[in-house]
Structure 1
Amino acid sequence: MYEVAVLALPSVIGFELGLPHKFLGSAVGADGRPLYRVRTASLDGGPVRTSAEYTVLPDHDAAILREADTVVIPGVSDHPAVRRGELADELAAALAGLDARLVSICTGAFVLAAAGRLDGRRATTHWMYAEHFRRLFPRVELDPDVLYVDEGDVLTSAGNAAGIDLLLHLVRRDHGAAVAARVARRSVVAPWREGGQSQFAEPLPEPRGSSTAATQAWALEHLTEPLTVADLAAHARTSVRTFTRRFRRETGQSPAQWLIGRRVERARQLLEETDLPVERVAAEAGFGTTASLRQHLHAAIGVAPLAYRRTYRGDRAG
């Protein structure tokens, strides 16, 4: 039986606090015996206020972390605070020298990073906080596009539901796909989800007031046309070289990359909000063919057009 310790910190996300008990605690072997013992602790064994405005009183303090094979850290709503003052020192002390694998859910990655456990390693967190995370922890190799990252002894996940994906991955890794599938069926969730969290992220707003803003707006109105970088430069009344240099400086992307991104966003909108056939979506987004749409959508968010539509439209998808 694996020993699992769940660490409840101040402002812990209540939903995430219960996930290890639900998904690891319900895993059983062929003989019906539990495969994990899941216990919850606070740093001092005292009560902890959750983000949902109720207080929990764990049965244990941080001492049980020393007995654990796996330590799970759910997200916290006040995640920047973990780097300040005594809490960061307490975390570092609690996690120091542990042989256990460390698992974070959502903004729990801030906790692991503040304790110095993610430096030089690949990790993920919720896409909404990715830029803030990068500013706080530049030594962490953050990948905001995936649902979870498995670095062997340190595992991190994206938002709430991605915590479920990661916990099922742990069961699959420890005990095989059949056991993980049984756990998933019991909770009526998919044992494995296709793609990454990019499919759920909102498009970033385009910069305003830049020298290429007018051309960007014009391009968005003409996405159905086979636009080239030369077309964009001509609209901006400048050379291709000058336009490309300015565009990259203002957006961080080449004009070609930006065009593909806007076409993907248009396709996602049409797949979510309309019943247009995929062939028509490809044309309206400027990809021309369904093969091109499928290739670029999969490269951007890891799923095919119809799979993406089903994610957002359920049984209405066709």
Structure 2
Amino acid sequence: MPTIALYVCPQTVCSSLSMAMDAFNLANHVAGRSLFTLQRFSLTGQPVDLGFAQIQVDGDLSLAEDADLILLAASGSAIDRTLTDNAALLPWLAQRPPQQQVASLCSSAFLLAAAGMLTGRRATTHWALATTFRQRYPEVSLHIEQLVCEDGHVLSSGGAHAGLDLCLHLIGQHGGAELAQQVANALVFDSQRGSQSRFAPLLPPIQTHCPLAPLLHWLNLHYAQSIDLNRLAAHANCSARTLLRRFKSSTGLTPNDYLQRVRISAAQQLLRGPLALEQIAEQVGYGDRATFAKLFKQLCGESPGAFRKRVRQADA
């Protein structure tokens, strides 16, 4: 009977904590027995004030020493404050033995990384935190497209609902795939949701002070045309080499990568309408459907057909 110790701190996102507890409690109910034992712990063993609610805990760090799984609920986007306030947790996490699973939901992957638990490992977190995470922890192999990552005894998940994906994954590990599916069904949750890429915006926002803003706006109007680096450089009144440097600095992308994302973003809007895939491919600048479909899946994590089906179901 696995014991799960859930860490609570002032930055804990209450919905993330309650979602995890609900999932494992529901697994116990569906299984008809106490398959999972849940405990909450804090640094000091004292109740934790979340501002609008006070969370009772069962003990301090020593309580979780013998747990089978340590689970860090999401801790919000104030990364510096979270790392500072939970500094005492980091060396304790670093000492976790390999037989003890440790899992983070969403932004709490920063706590695992700061403790050195993700060095040389695969991990994920919320797509909006990817740039910050990579800058802080280049030694971690970040797979931001994945909803759930497991590398050895360390697990991580992406955004809010990906935390439920991770909980279902753990329920499947310890209680079987059938139980995990029953819990997903009871929660009316699609456990086959593909990748996190489907939810991340394809393009960074155009900042008004960006020196390339006029060129980016022009690209957003003329993306379907035949455009190469020399044409863009001429439009920006600079050399191709200079444009490459400025483009990467301003957008984090190469001009060609940006162009493909503009085209695929336009295709996403057209897929909400009645046009055939061949027509959409042509309208956004691709000569054939195969090239369009391949790039679409690379950037969006699903095929154009799957995207169309999903958004139409959502609109309905």
Q: TM-score normalized by structure 1?
A: 0.85
Whether 1:72 and 2:55 are equivalent positions in the alignment is: no
Deviation of 1:185 (Å): 0.5
- Hey, what does 1:229 align to over in structure 2? 229
Bigger mean CA deviation after superposition, 137-146 or 152-161? 137-146
Deviation of 1:170 (Å): 1.9
- Hey, what does 2:306 align to over in structure 1? 307
1:264-283 correspondence runs (5 A): 264-271=264-271, 274-279=272-277, 280-283=279-282
- When residues 247 and 109 of structure 1 are mapped into structure 2, their CA distance, relative to the original with a 3 A threshold, is closer
Give the Cα–Cα distance (whole angstroms) in 2 for the partners of residues 128 and 249 of structure 1: 18
1:36-115 correspondence runs (5 A): 36-50=36-50, 53-77=52-76, 78-84=78-84, 87-93=86-92, 96-98=95-97, 99-115=99-115
CA deviation profile, 1:114-146 (whole Å, cap 9, x unmatched): 323222322211122222233333433323222
Would the aligned equivalents of 2:43 and 2:88 in 1 still touch at CA under 8 Å? no
CA deviation profile, 1:175-226 (whole Å, cap 9, x unmatched): 432221111011110122112x222123312366666544333222112223
- When residues 278 and 72 of structure 1 are mapped into structure 2, their CA distance, relative to the original with a 3 A threshold, is farther
- Gapped regions of structure 2 (runs ≥ 5): none
- When residues 240 and 88 of structure 1 are mapped into structure 2, their CA distance, relative to the original with a 3 A threshold, is closer
- When residues 220 and 68 of structure 1 are mapped into structure 2, their CA distance, relative to the original with a 3 A threshold, is same
Would the aligned equivalents of 1:27 and 1:35 in 2 still touch at CA under 8 Å? yes
Deviation of 1:84 (Å): 2.1
Bigger mean CA deviation after superposition, 286-295 or 100-109? 286-295
- When residues 92 and 238 of structure 1 are mapped into structure 2, their CA distance, relative to the original with a 3 A threshold, is closer
Deviation of 1:275 (Å): 2.2
- Gapped regions of structure 1 (runs ≥ 5): none
CA deviation profile, 1:52-106 (whole Å, cap 9, x unmatched): x211112333222112111100011343223226x31244236624441110001
Which AA in structure 2 matches 1:62? L
Q: TM-score normalized by structure 2?
A: 0.86
Give the Cα–Cα distance (whole angstroms) in 2 for the partners of residues 30 and 255 of structure 1: 52
Deviation of 1:154 (Å): 0.5
Q: Tell me, what secondary structure is at the counterpart of 2:179?
A: helix
Give the Cα–Cα distance (whole angstroms) in 2 for the partners of residues 218 and 4 of structure 1: 54
Deviation of 1:108 (Å): 1.2
What RMSD over aligned residues (CA atoms) do the two structures have, in Å? 2.8
1:1-318 correspondence runs (5 A): 1-27=1-27, 32-50=32-50, 53-77=52-76, 78-84=78-84, 87-93=86-92, 96-98=95-97, 99-195=99-195, 197-202=196-201, 203-206=203-206, 212-236=212-236, 240=240, 243-244=243-244, 246-248=246-248, 250-271=250-271, 274-279=272-277, 280-314=279-313, 316=315
Overall identity of the aligned pairs, in %? 32
